[in-house]
């Protein structure tokens, strides 16, 4: 009788630890939100727009720069943590699949660099190979705490000594991996009061920074710029999560989830569209006129609407975007059957 009780308790514990099936809408929404903000930053860079005194660039510096890239990076780590935890729950250790996954991302990023120097995918692929895959050798019970501690340390160093940017990727990957390996990700909006309270505190902290500093203060010290960028990223993320606890949840899912589910396809596709736009409108490339920045932002909004419409239509027929499907095939190449990606693991 005692052994039966122990076996029952072990089965119950395993059920609690095992990730629930299905996609997590909050992650798709956050990914779509991050993708939208990243386009506003990347498009002017691809077109080589110049000038420092126009209102559009000032708005981007204060509210967009370094605020969406951290969300995107953290979500990538979360996706890996979810995938690995799901595999371990089935008794699997698909390290070679993960190596193929990150290798393809690095190759895709290297090609993408031709159109967008300084893009993130190459760094993502390398960080995945050098950090996330080796982290799978950490014992399961210790992995969450080790990756959490390592992520906090590396993120702190990146914003204090390396001025953020791509230097934040390793730390955010490890933080994301820790979160994805825990149960918090699937319960992040199950406590509305706590989620909304954190969002309010972050909004107040963000506002306090702007009320107590000048624009020059926020830009002249790159370390400080990275710190307030990270604060802004947390603010946007928790405000979005807070809205997901309200009746606006359906709106958030309808607007951002299609973009998030096809993030890789939309990310690469946006680069191609902006590059072609620069070829078709040569006067736009390298322009320092403030109107060029305005038209660039209008074009970005139009492109996001187009991508949303295309993503929504595509997902009515297919479960994944075209690049996501290729990425999946490369990841699970050589296995007996194709694993369904139900863990929000897209970039």
d(CA 28, CA 320): 12
pLDDT the model gives residue 64: 95
Report the pLDDT value the prediction gives residue 201, as an integer from 0 to 100: 98
Rounded CA-CA distance 257/279 in Å is 31
- For the chain, 347 residues long, give each residue's pLDDT as a single digit of tens: 334 333 433 433 333 333 345 789 999 999 999 999 999 999 999 999 987 678 898 899 999 999 999 999 999 999 999 989 888 877 777 899 999 999 999 999 999 999 888 889 999 999 999 999 999 999 888 999 999 999 999 999 999 888 888 899 999 999 999 999 888 888 888 899 999 999 999 999 999 999 999 888 888 888 899 999 999 999 999 999 999 999 999 999 999 999 999 999 999 999 999 999 999 988 888 888 888 999 999 999 999 999 999 999 999 999 999 999 999 999 988 765 445 445 555 54
d(Cα 95, Cα 16) in Å, to the nearest integer? 24
The whole-angstrom separation of Cα 169 and Cα 162 is 12
Q: Is 1 helix (H, G, I), strand (E, B) or coil?
A: coil
Helix runs in the chain, H state only: 2-17, 25-47, 55-63, 69-89, 95-115, 121-127, 133-135, 140-161, 169-180, 192-212, 215-220, 222-243, 249-261, 263-280, 290-315, 322-331
Q: Residue 217 contacts by C-beta under 8 Å, 6 or more apart in sequence?
A: 224
**Which pLDDT does position 7 carry in this prediction?**
43
**pTM of the full predicted structure?**
0.88
DSSP per-residue letters across 100-156: HHHHHHHHHHHHHHHHSTT-SHHHHHHHIIIIIHHHTTS-HHHHHHHHHHHHHHHHH
The total number of residues shown for the chain amounts to 347
Query: What is the C-alpha separation between 100 and 329, in angstroms, rounded?
Result: 10
- Distance between CA atoms of residues 225 and 216, nearest Å: 10
Structure token digits, residue 222:
């790159």
């Amino acid at each position: 009788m005692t052994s039966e009780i122990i076996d029952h308790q072990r089965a119950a514990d395993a059920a609690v630890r095992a990730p629930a099936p299905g996609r997590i809408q909050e992650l798709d929404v956050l990914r779509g939100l991050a993708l939208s903000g990243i386009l506003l930053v990347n498009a002017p860079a691809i077109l080589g727009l110049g000038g420092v005194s126009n209102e559009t660039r000032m708005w981007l510096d204060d509210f967009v720069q370094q605020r969406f890239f951290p969300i995107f990076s953290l979500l990538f780590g979360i996706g890996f943590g979810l995938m690995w935890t799901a595999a371990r729950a089935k008794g699997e250790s698909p390290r070679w699949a993960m190596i193929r996954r990150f290798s393809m991302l690095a190759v895709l990023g290297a090609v993408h660099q031709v159109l967008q120097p300084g893009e993130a995918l190459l760094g993502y692929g390398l960080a995945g190979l050098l950090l996330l895959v080796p982290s799978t050798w950490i014992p399961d019970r210790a992995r969450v705490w080790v990756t959490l501690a390592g992520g906090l340390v590396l993120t702190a160093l990146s914003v204090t000594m390396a001025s953020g940017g791509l230097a934040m990727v390793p730390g955010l990957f490890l933080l994301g991996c820790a979160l994805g390996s825990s149960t918090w990700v699937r319960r992040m909006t199950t406590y509305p009061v706590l989620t909304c309270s954190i969002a309010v505190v972050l909004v107040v902290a963000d506002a306090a920074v702007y009320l107590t500093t000048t624009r020059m203060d926020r830009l002249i010290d790159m370390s400080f710029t990275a710190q307030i960028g990270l604060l802004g990223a947390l603010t946007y993320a928790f405000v979005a999560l807070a809205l997901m606890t309200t009746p606006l949840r359906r709106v958030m899912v309808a607007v951002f989830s299609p973009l998030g589910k096809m993030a890789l396809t939309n990310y690469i596709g946006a680069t191609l569209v902006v590059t072609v736009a620069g070829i078709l409108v040569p006067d736009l490339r390298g322009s320092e006129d403030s109107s060029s920045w305005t038209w660039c932002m209008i074009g970005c909004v139009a492109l996001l609407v187009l991508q949303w419409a295309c993503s929504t239509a595509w997902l009515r027929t297919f479960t994944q975007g075209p690049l996501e499907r290729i990425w999946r095939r490369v990841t699970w190449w050589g296995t007996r059957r194709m694993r369904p990606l139900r863990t929000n693991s897209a970039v």
